Amino acid sequence: MTIESAVAGHYTTGGLTARILDALRGQGIDPGRLKPEHLDPVGEFHIGGIQATRELVGQIALGPKDHVLDIGSGLGGTARFIAGSAGCRVTGLDLTPEFVETARALSALVGMTGATGFEVGSAVEMPFADDSFDAATLLHVGMNIPDKGRLMAEAARVLRPGSPFAVYEVMRTGPGELAFPVPWAEGPETSFLGSPDHYRDAAEAAGFRVGQVRERRAFALDFFAEVQRRMVAGGPPALGVHLVMAGNRAAKVANMIANIEAGLIAPVEMILHAP
């Protein structure tokens, strides 16, 4: 089994679209009258959810004529957010066929099939021509990719010169043994956390200019504290990223928080500019 097939297997849970539609109905939302914001609790599979997406994407200038690439697009929440807020076209690329199928289905349900498209493929061998995109995003994907150099080289290749590349990744911020499983991996065999310096070096080697870098540890811990407060007050929500995780969900989330609290990992934003 290759790393990529193991990663796609990790993210495949089966019947995902149907389970999301059931959860929506459970919350009294008719899938026939769905609005993009109804999907926010489940469509953003990264720390900080839609708030993190908004804050990351807010740092790059996008206009209606742009064609944006979301690398590792998951269920398509980031792509729909960008298409809706900037009024532009967004293509998502993801390794996991079930995620691509669900992203397409959810976009269709909110009338965004024309604005968003999703393709199955690898971030280190993208099925796109050189200079295809005006901007790109990468949210919580690099931790499944061992070769950050290839990832950055591919991003540089498909971006037009000077285009922004907004990265929001879980990175290694301190030494020590990580607790597993975590939401992106059952164990160290498919977890490849780079440090901020590692990402910076890979980006610069691919020709990117590194702009703003922002560690988001405090934001992440505040976010989890708020999720916990809501769980205590109202119980677990029907619609959430737990639908996207196979087995051991509570342990995966608890270990991720413990790793952040221990200073071993943190989400970090990095705004890059293509050569």
Ligand X SMILES: C[S@@+](CC[C@H](N)C(=O)[O-])C[C@H]1O[C@@H](n2cnc3c(N)ncnc32)[C@H](O)[C@@H]1O
Q: Is 267 in the site for ligand X (CB under 6 A)?
A: no
Q: Do residues 227 and 249 lie in contact, with contact meaning Cβ atoms separated by under 8 Å? A: no
Q: Is 192 in the site for ligand X (CB under 6 A)?
A: no
Distance between CA atoms of residues 206 and 186, nearest Å: 30
What does the per-residue mask of binding to ligand X show for 54-73, with x meaning CB under 6 A?
------------------xx
Query: Cβ 44 to ligand X, closest distance in Å?
Result: 5
The binder of ligand X chosen from 184, 192, 219, 223 (CB under 6 A) = 184
The binder of ligand X chosen from 41, 77, 117, 267 (CB under 6 A) = 77
Q: Do residues 64 and 86 lie in contact, with contact meaning Cβ atoms separated by under 8 Å? A: yes
Q: Is 46 in the site for ligand X (CB under 6 A)?
A: yes
Residue 29 CB: number of other CB atoms within 10 A? 17
Candidate ranges 3-11, 206-214, 219-227, 257-265; the one touching ligand X (CB under 6 A) = 3-11
The binder of ligand X chosen from 36, 41, 74, 164 (CB under 6 A) = 74
The binder of ligand X chosen from 38, 78, 136, 185 (CB under 6 A) = 78
Candidate ranges 7-15, 58-66, 153-161, 247-255; the one touching ligand X (CB under 6 A) = 7-15
Query: Cβ 232 to ligand X, closest distance in Å?
Result: 25
What does the per-residue mask of binding to ligand X show for 129-148, with x meaning CB under 6 A?
----------xxx--xx---
Q: Which of residues 83-102 bind ligand X (CB under 6 A)?
A: 93-96, 99
- In the complex with ligand X, the residue whose CB is nearer, 144 or 173, is 144
Interface residues with ligand X (CB under 6 A) are: 4, 7-8, 11, 44-46, 72-74, 77-78, 93-96, 99, 122-124, 139-141, 144-145, 184
